[in-house]
């Protein structure tokens, strides 16, 4: 039984990393956070600076490495739309999700 658990835990990390990479690439290909966060009447220089500030001008693998290293440190980054930290609203939502619901009537 212990061997089974160790094997499962051993394979869980590569599967989670591969899954996160596929999701990261899919989001990168289908969304443009700059368009979501910037108004339409913005100069090209401002767009370039904004992409640089977000790190979106770096190669995809470098962006993923930064994402992964920050994730394992517990830093979930900055919201593209609100420009605030992602962690506080995530903690609030997680705390609400973990609270027990009302007891079922008998």
Q: Which long-range contacts (CB under 8 A, 24 or more apart) does 38-45 make?
A: none
- Give the pLDDT band of residue 102 (cuts 50, 70, 90): confident
pTM: 0.67
Look at residue 37 in the predicted model and tell me its pLDDT.
Answer: 65
Q: How many CB atoms lie within 10 A of CB 56?
A: 15
Which pLDDT value is given to residue 103? Answer: 67
Radius of gyration of the chain (CA): 19
């Amino acid at each position: 039984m212990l061997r089974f658990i160790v094997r499962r835990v051993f394979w869980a990390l590569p599967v989670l990393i591969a899954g996160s990479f596929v999701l990261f690439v899919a989001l990168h290909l289908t969304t443009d956070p700059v368009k979501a966060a910037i108004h339409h009447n913005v100069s090209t220089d401002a767009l370039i600076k904004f992409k640089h500030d977000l790190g979106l001008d770096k190669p995809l693998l470098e962006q993923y490495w930064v994402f992964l290293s920050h994730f394992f440190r517990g830093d979930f980054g900055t919201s593209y739309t609100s420009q605030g930290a992602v962690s506080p609203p995530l903690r609030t939502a997680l705390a609400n999700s973990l609270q027990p619901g009302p007891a079922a009537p008998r």
